[in-house]
Structure 1
């Protein structure tokens, strides 16, 4: 009997024999010199949309924050434990990242829960329900639309939630000040799990567009 699931140990073995062996110098450097990523990714916990895989990045290249539905709460220095705000503070104030990307994805379970909030909570704490209430007004508007199919409503709210998170990012003084000085740039993106397509939010119009790839 092992202390970890066997498939994890198998994966670690492959990692040590493959990627770590090929990049051991890089890991050693990161250990001694610390991390200096230029980009922070705020993504969903969903196991199907890993930023490091999607953007083909190695160790030390991305500072990744993952939570349910890639949401950013508004700036509220109220003494409550706030892991997302703490990670954002560290990325901006300590790591001095130059870019923040809020990346949503298709078929998001958190967004589905927000659209169907009439169901029973998963636990007495209803942590998901409380968390998804951050986009409650938008979810209510989208869910009552009879002009869209269920799939269209899902995609619409997934993308709207990205705009919500970007707006909430700008409520943090450390973000808005640096963005105003041109030292920090915010981006929105949406990943389609079924096709592998990445859609990027146009900063001028708010529309999501496919980037041109060489």
Structure 2
């Protein structure tokens, strides 16, 4: 039998001696009382863009869903097994989150693959090609723009994909109802791994603004 990764065991030992030791009471309260996060983050599986790290949040503070390229499909209650949709349903109907943030990031491998459908890993496999086909119509439009560089097309699709996922969220009837009632807010954000910059989507224009330039709402 293969041994458990040593770096994970070392990390666990560091966690127990550090963060857990400092926050033992919080962990015990979470175990006893359950989780009550106010925000759900729909993020990419990419190991470089962990929401808890980017937003410096502790245990119990974020309900995080991660999938390839932070995609949200449309509402399709067809009897299939839909992990992303199940997580959204649980967050909204059971946890009663007040915010859902779709968090994309720069240099996303899934987005790169969507722009190059004949390249790996989309040319083979049982699942990833079908998953990324959620973006196929938009990817074709962006990929066919010869006036943009490859890097510009990549960034453009990363951000357009966030808007697309937010639109798809509104096809969930309970999401649409709660947004209309004002009990749930949807947000888009994009993280630049190289520069460490967070760009937040303006709900009205759809433009992405650097987080430092986003004005606080007037009281």
Settle same-fold status: TM greater than 0.5.
Answer: yes
SS at match of 1:36: coil
For residues 142 and 121 of structure 1, the distance between their equivalents in structure 2, rounded to whole angstroms, comes to 20
Alignment match, 2:185: 185
| Runs of 4 or more consecutive aligned structure 1 residues displaced over 6 Å after TM superposition | none
Q: Secondary structure at the match of 1:212?
A: helix
Distance 1:114 1:122 in 2: 8
* Counterpart position of 2:113: 113
Give the structure 1 partner of residue 93 of structure 2: 93
Please tell me whether residue 138 in structure 1 is matched to residue 141 in structure 2. Answer: no
Question: SS of the residue aligned with 2:138?
Answer: helix
Q: Tell me, in whole angstroms, the C-alpha distance in 2 between the residues paired with 1:206 and 1:160.
A: 9
State which drifts further: 39-48 or 113-122: 113-122
State the partner residue of 1:46: 46
Within 1, Cα distance between the matches of 2:101 and 2:149? 28
Q: Is the 8 A contact 2:113 2:120 kept in 1?
A: no
RMSD: 1.5
TM-score relative to the length of structure 1? 0.96
In the other structure, the counterpart of 1:37 is 37
Alpha-carbon separation, structure 1, partners of 2:95 and 2:141: 38
Point out where structure 1 has 5 or more consecutive residues left out of the alignment. Answer: none
| Superposed CA offset, 1:81-111 (max 9, x none) | 0000000000000000000000000000000
Report the TM-score, using the length of structure 2 for normalisation.
0.94
Gap runs ≥5 in structure 2: none
Q: What corresponds to 1:162 in structure 2? A: 162
Residue number in structure 1 paired with 2:28: 28
Instruction: Name 1:82's counterpart in structure 2.
Output: 82
After superposition, give the CA deviation of every residue in 1:111-136 in whole Å (9 maximum; x if it has no partner): 00000002255675341111111010
Residues 6 and 115 of structure 1: CA distance in aligned 2, closer, same or farther (over 3 Å): same
Task: Provide the C-alpha distance between the structure 1 equivalents of 2:4 and 2:21, rounded to a whole number of angstroms.
Answer: 22
